[in-house]
Chain A
């Protein structure tokens, strides 16, 4: 388990990082290294050059622009977990963070790395999608912003192009009307989810509107349960059984080492019930 030889360069600034990434085809950003280095050690991946962005200043801030929460790419999971701003204004993310790995990994692993890596069973990509957040990207052609809905394209595949760096994610700040819910089933604490659900909606009287229920661990990307969302938006909590049934159309999980696709779909239904009940009565 020794990686193939690679070159290493430490970027001094964002521009420098982008310049370095342009010097070698297949060059890769090194953030917390918690996913990348393991892949290199197992020789599942052999990039010629790693561009270390840990020295780039300004990427590790949690900010509160108007109506939004912005989390810099280099913010460590542990830092986000300890943040008052995240706890208050991005409660869904605060709920998800303790499920990510273990303290040692959370000390190094970054929010940007999780989103960029886009593991289909990871928590943060699902949260970003549930919150209808967006992603800031800087690359050789300058800056651009991509909506979460357009960011996760396939298995470990995102809208990030060659030489591009994810610099921050932004999500709407919580409002009194916002309801969110989170649940995850993992065989052991800290494992990637067997099945997970991150959800967000607007409370409207007794019902929910604009709901976004995003399952993870059930497909190649985080998956929105659009049919179930539509049922819940239309029928409210009375439609729960129907919404669970609609998951049969929304989710097509495949068998994996820990559970059959069939079991995963069953578990998704259990999580949907639990999360909806929780969103119905957030003080329960």
Chain B
């Protein structure tokens, strides 16, 4: 425990002047964004900038026999037409493996396919022209001779001896495998009063960002320096990767990330076409812009969640859960994505199944295989929606089998709130969770018994409504245990630098980034609180590797918890430094002073002594008036990384209320509730909207979103008309509430909140639909998305 007198007690620091912790202050960037004055990569225009469009493989698997570029090279406005072989001389390939995922393997991936294209949509040739339209015109003139090869598309047969091996040098199509066997699983199943065994299928889907991936690369041969304007979540990680693969030193690469229109994990990976863009800039010695269009986004932005899970649960007649067992199989495309790998999702599924419950017996196997489809990697709530849906559907199916209420079975099995610290069967270490408090809160908030009565009444009238729950834990604030120990140059620590400007405002440079979730607001709140200034006097700067402290960026629900704590510590340090200056001006002991509302005051009486503008004026312009030997330091930097716990786990529970039309199979989402515990809530509105947005993405996966591939590896619905993103009209009202268990690892006590919604929503919906269909004798649904057809099948109607 590390709590000092500076710690704002969770949600109640309002009594300290300028405490913004726990207050829904508006985002400082709201006006900029709503007035269209944001600076997205698409807005970046540089002198001599050219645009690249890519010729992409129409085949899932094909040998590239020849590429004829003459016609394209003679097209109007053409700067260059570059093939994979030519680009491979500029930039080295990469392999997406991590040493702590034992045995994970992948093949070298090039920015443009060299000998073979391994998925439909892989870039095979780059066409650079004066405008994107001219580049697209010329791209149509590039002729590629392909020899189509058999496509490996079904994970179930990927490891069969008869199936072609996508990368022969790897020996087989197995990327990664993990096995776990804890406790006495066989005994538990043998002694169970009831066992539920079923197979889950989760549809492949993707994250659809408002702003597509976008990058401008500017190689300056005079400076021998590359400046990259990129819509990314992790500028320093990208700096490292660009430098490494272009054989530059990191200081020769600057990554600038201004406004980013959504990311959700999509923009935290290495994309071949973006690597091609930086290489092209180096090759052509001029700025090159690439903005993915929506069609190429569907075949290149990472996909996720394509899992088949055989799973079973053992329970006793009194509801005690005695064992979980799963066999997970997932197909990840032809390459493990760099540098985070495509093994993490399955690894998380293994980690998280059964995690909320005090059940000691657990067996898991996960196999990750290659296929000729677009790559899969980490998307919001990595692995959680799968693990939670599997666990929670099993729990509710088991409850139904033994005739127990679904909340009651959870009450009997969730890890007790007073049992922490606790370790899950899979070995996750929980500092402090609040499953039971959350459940009790949810029960009251949704008026569960009232809802059950309503459900019963309506069933008599032929209206089928269902209630489903999902308890969950969420991985947030990862330490180096996530990636660093595996050898990836992905920083788990983060920093903040604060400077008092010459008029007494505070400039904050932070290593975490903003993609629309409100990071800038949260940082400003923390800084204003720590220093003691009105929030309007804090300016937050993010996303510039030349200027912001080294850090990981924003992903894995880490920005507020880790970046926020760094900013908190920096704020305290700057306050101390300011008070040292003020003390020497005022001939007072710094300890007797405080900063409130931008003014140095007597700590006891609150009497105003000197404004920060005056402190700054004296420190910067009249330092001659300060005592000899005294040097003002009006800039402070602090870093933070969680050390006590490898991850700050959060928890919560969601409930879904749906109505199913048994004639049409349509599912209507009526209401949704979430009670979650992310520790200290810095900005309730932002946290609630994170939870809501996350739930919407979870609902998307549950009912709508699906990357549909045919058996030849062709994506059949890669456009916004056929790929169904969840839209407002179909979304229910979502009520969000919190239980607050701060982490003691930091003074701020904030854990992450970005993925809780996505983690729990699909499981809650699956359970609600099955609850609605139960009186009709339907086969339980264990696949997503739950389409009308899927419901009709469960009812035996088609």
A residues apposed to B, CB below 8 Å: 1-5, 42-43, 185, 187-192, 194, 257-260, 262-263, 266-267, 270
B663 pairs with A270, CB closer than 8 A: yes
* CA–CA, A42 and B726, complex, Å: 22
* CA–CA, A198 and B730, complex, Å: 23
B798 pairs with A257, CB closer than 8 A: no
6 A-B pairs closest in CB distance: A2-B133, A189-B729, A1-B293, A263-B789, A263-B798, A270-B663
Min CB–CB distance B786 → chain A (angstroms): 11
Chain A residues, CB < 8 A from B430: none
Within 8 A of A (CB), among B309-330: none
* CA–CA, A192 and B136, complex, Å: 29
Given contacts A4-B137, A263-B788, contact A257 B730 (CB under 8 A): no
Chain A residues, CB < 8 A from B133: 2-3, 5
Given contacts A1-B294, A187-B724, A260-B798, contact A266 B792 (CB under 8 A): yes
Min CB–CB distance A168 → chain B (angstroms): 28
1/0 per position for B750-789, CB-CB distance to A under 8 A? 0000000000000000000000000000000000000111
- 18 interchain pairs, CB-CB under 8 A: A2-B131, A2-B136, A4-B137, A42-B295, A43-B136, A185-B666, A187-B724, A188-B726, A188-B729, A188-B730, A189-B727, A191-B721, A194-B788, A258-B787, A262-B798, A263-B792, A266-B798, A270-B664
A1 pairs with B295, CB closer than 8 A: yes
Chain A residues, CB < 8 A from B131: 2
1/0 per position for B656-692, CB-CB distance to A under 8 A? 0000000111100000000000000000000000000
A188 pairs with B787, CB closer than 8 A: no
Q: CB-nearest residue of chain B relative to A259?
A: B789
A259 pairs with B716, CB closer than 8 A: no
* CA–CA, A191 and B717, complex, Å: 14
Q: CB-nearest residue of chain A relative to B666?
A: A185
Q: CB-nearest residue of chain A relative to B793?
A: A263
Chain A residues, CB < 8 A from B251: none
B132 within 8 A of A: yes
B789 pairs with A260, CB closer than 8 A: yes
Min CB–CB distance A221 → chain B (angstroms): 19
Chain A residues, CB < 8 A from B797: 266
B147 within 8 A of A: no
Min CB–CB distance B236 → chain A (angstroms): 32
Within 8 A of A (CB), among B715-751: 716-717, 719, 721-722, 724, 726-727, 729-730
Min CB–CB distance A35 → chain B (angstroms): 10
Which of B137, B666, B788 has the most chain A CB atoms closer than 10 A to its own CB?
B788
Q: CB-nearest residue of chain B relative to A273?
A: B663
Min CB–CB distance A101 → chain B (angstroms): 10
* CA–CA, A187 and B787, complex, Å: 8
Which of A3, A190, A267, A270 has the most chain B CB atoms closer than 10 A to its own CB?
A267
Q: When the two chains form the complex, which single residue of B664, B722, B729 contacts A185, counting CB atoms closer than 8 Å?
A: B664
B708 within 8 A of A: yes
Chain B residues, CB < 8 A from A189: 727, 729-730
Min CB–CB distance B581 → chain A (angstroms): 56
A1-B294, A270-B664 given; 19 more Cβ-contact pairs under 8 Å: A1-B295, A2-B136, A3-B133, A4-B136, A4-B137, A5-B133, A42-B295, A42-B719, A188-B730, A190-B727, A191-B721, A191-B724, A257-B716, A257-B717, A258-B722, A258-B789, A263-B665, A263-B788, A263-B798
Chain A residues, CB < 8 A from B792: 263, 266
Q: When the two chains form the complex, which single residue of B726, B727, B730, B787 contacts A259, counting CB atoms closer than 8 Å?
A: B787
* CA–CA, A187 and B722, complex, Å: 10
Interface footprint category on B: 20 to 34
What is the number of contacts between chain A and chain B, taking CB atoms within 8 Å? 64
Chain B residues, CB < 8 A from A258: 722, 787, 789
* CA–CA, A262 and B797, complex, Å: 10
Q: CB-nearest residue of chain A relative to B785?
A: A187
Classify the interface of chain B: helix, strand, loop or mixed. loop
Classify the interface of chain A: helix, strand, loop or mixed. loop
Min CB–CB distance B569 → chain A (angstroms): 46
* CA–CA, A187 and B791, complex, Å: 13
Chain A residues, CB < 8 A from B717: 257
Q: CB-nearest residue of chain A relative to B792?
A: A263
B704 within 8 A of A: yes
Chain B residues, CB < 8 A from A187: 704, 724, 787-788
Given contacts A188-B729, A270-B663, contact A257 B788 (CB under 8 A): no
Chain B residues, CB < 8 A from A270: 663-664
Chain A residues, CB < 8 A from B132: 2
* CA–CA, A19 and B101, complex, Å: 69
Chain A residues, CB < 8 A from B704: 187-188
* CA–CA, A257 and B136, complex, Å: 28
Min CB–CB distance B152 → chain A (angstroms): 22
Q: When the two chains form the complex, which single residue of A185, A188, A257, A262 contacts B708, counting CB atoms closer than 8 Å?
A: A257
* CA–CA, A190 and B726, complex, Å: 12
A267 pairs with B730, CB closer than 8 A: no
Min CB–CB distance B54 → chain A (angstroms): 13
* CA–CA, A185 and B661, complex, Å: 12
* CA–CA, A260 and B792, complex, Å: 11
Min CB–CB distance A93 → chain B (angstroms): 22
* CA–CA, A190 and B727, complex, Å: 10
Min CB–CB distance A104 → chain B (angstroms): 13
* CA–CA, A192 and B716, complex, Å: 17
Q: CB-nearest residue of chain A relative to B723?
A: A257
B664 pairs with A267, CB closer than 8 A: yes
Chain B residues, CB < 8 A from A185: 664, 666, 788
Chain B residues, CB < 8 A from A190: 727, 729
Min CB–CB distance A258 → chain B (angstroms): 7
* CA–CA, A194 and B133, complex, Å: 34
Chain A residues, CB < 8 A from B716: 257
Min CB–CB distance A215 → chain B (angstroms): 15
Q: CB-nearest residue of chain B relative to A41?
A: B293
* CA–CA, A2 and B137, complex, Å: 9
Min CB–CB distance B42 → chain A (angstroms): 13
Q: CB-nearest residue of chain B relative to A267?
A: B664
* CA–CA, A42 and B716, complex, Å: 15
* CA–CA, A187 and B294, complex, Å: 21
Min CB–CB distance A247 → chain B (angstroms): 14
* CA–CA, A1 and B665, complex, Å: 36
* CA–CA, A1 and B720, complex, Å: 13
* CA–CA, A42 and B293, complex, Å: 10
Min CB–CB distance B271 → chain A (angstroms): 18
Min CB–CB distance A49 → chain B (angstroms): 17
* CA–CA, A260 and B798, complex, Å: 9
A188 pairs with B724, CB closer than 8 A: yes
Chain B residues, CB < 8 A from A262: 798
1/0 per position for B630-666, CB-CB distance to A under 8 A? 0000000000000000000000000000000001111
Chain A residues, CB < 8 A from B722: 257-258
* CA–CA, A190 and B721, complex, Å: 10
Chain A residues, CB < 8 A from B708: 257
* CA–CA, A4 and B132, complex, Å: 11
Q: CB-nearest residue of chain B relative to A46?
A: B140
Q: CB-nearest residue of chain A relative to B296?
A: A1
Q: CB-nearest residue of chain B relative to A270?
A: B663
* CA–CA, A191 and B729, complex, Å: 11
Q: CB-nearest residue of chain A relative to B297?
A: A1
Which of A42, A194, A263, A266 has the most chain B CB atoms closer than 10 A to its own CB?
A263
Min CB–CB distance A217 → chain B (angstroms): 13
Min CB–CB distance B792 → chain A (angstroms): 6
Chain A residues, CB < 8 A from B730: 188-189
* CA–CA, A258 and B189, complex, Å: 39
Min CB–CB distance B97 → chain A (angstroms): 35
Chain A residues, CB < 8 A from B295: 1, 42
A5 pairs with B724, CB closer than 8 A: no
Min CB–CB distance B128 → chain A (angstroms): 15
Within 8 A of A (CB), among B117-160: 131-133, 136-137, 140
Chain A residues, CB < 8 A from B787: 187, 258-259
